[in-house]
Structure 1
């Protein structure tokens, strides 16, 4: 208990969150395989979006980084190191390592491009010949989670930068002929309320998964949620202690799935069926096919399986495709139901 009380700010346990299964599953799968491409969470206000995202970050095991490195460089994985750390290793310099919590970075709505990407001190570069870089939020988010609330209200230019960095895993800052590049591998999580405007289709398509959440209507479930939250606010440490076993169990499942992921296979015929579904639904490009394959493998790994089965695909395909369908203003059926109809027809 004393150990828990050392936390500066108690975080609501992920396993204590009632309902919102789509959101929880999407977040877990993106943590297992960040290459899925992040998740867009759209839903009503006050449905626990921010609480759930902070909870998944708090749940994850600590990561090993190079001490005092502003980019959270990995000690052994070359692709997750800053150029400075690479040089140090090439020069056979011993670097101190430490364990840190998985970074959870919030992007405020009024953020500028400099705040997001970082800035180069031109004066220092010209006068002293030294590349001086003031890191931005993308540097802090490397190997962690970058959360953008109200992403549909964010400037399209910034959303483009976010999505480019999330897809490539790198951020490049250029100014007056000076260029600095650093790793920026993170799980991008966006949330918003559809009543305040949708994201442009070409930007929405680049989010790996799309979870829809609605206000719980069942009275007894609403009471349960309110009581759970009230108990946490009164005594957060007791609540954290009560869910310790479930938290540890889920943490172990995620680590197991991460280790198993590379060995999971998906049968060729099943791949063809996934692409057939994308074709019937007129999904533009191949991103839908790729994300569905990735998410299905992550879900199979999460279920302790080495091969993807039809049920695994059925579980995740709606989350991967619903936001990629062309919107027909005269359509009375929602995109999720449309995906389900085609899936039931093809995946028998």
Structure 2
């Protein structure tokens, strides 16, 4: 029987900051959690026990206080991968793709509408609790600032539970975001501009290293098909070539081709499909022109991208934008 587990990093980070918050929990519980190596897995039951101990302290703002106290170096492999991403949008894609590394405690998803980008969290905790959910959303909000390198704030923050603490405590994290309580779902809504904002340099070598480590850890938890792995990589870094992807996956190009053939794919067919879907999504959002996409997908020039786009869709770039009714910024 499979035992649900989580990464130890988050629980250990919480234990590390509790003294500064004048919070004490049972020493035996602390020792049980600390005995698990950082590169291993922590039984979900122990993280549940930690949150139960915190809940019993009757501090309804504790989840928000914990999130405010955590720093970027409080997180493990997945955290470093997220903080190595160029934009909030890239980081959320990684969070969704590798969320199994965090554990079975919940599921992240994203969606887009005319108001912006929504990052949703569905809790799978045995007994979902307000301070635990607030800690998760607050950590995402704090992480968004670290990733973008700018003091971005969500436009809307929604919780499925009633208000727990003072409005000023929520505002310390979420700024002037509209707060919704007793909502149908837990989520943060970000402006389109903030989703792609990049105000700091990104070390691609570090990012690729973190991604490689995350891939290895994910493989140990739940082996993925080669199609799934390539889809996850190209969705985040569509400019990568087959050689670079093979290197990230620590296999030869020949082995990669053979694995894909076993699933009825060629690399060209799969990569074209992924890039086509990504290009269509970006065009429908209304913020991409042909020059931007050529650069984003790693083509030598606009002409090369234009030929690929026509091969994918059967239409020229301008024709495609007119077809979907988005005639702004056609270039």
What TM bracket, shorter-length normalisation?
Answer: under 0.3
TM-score (norm 2): 0.25
More helix by share: 2
| Bigger RCO (CA 8 Å, 6+ sep) | 1
More strand by share: 1
TM-score (norm 1): 0.24
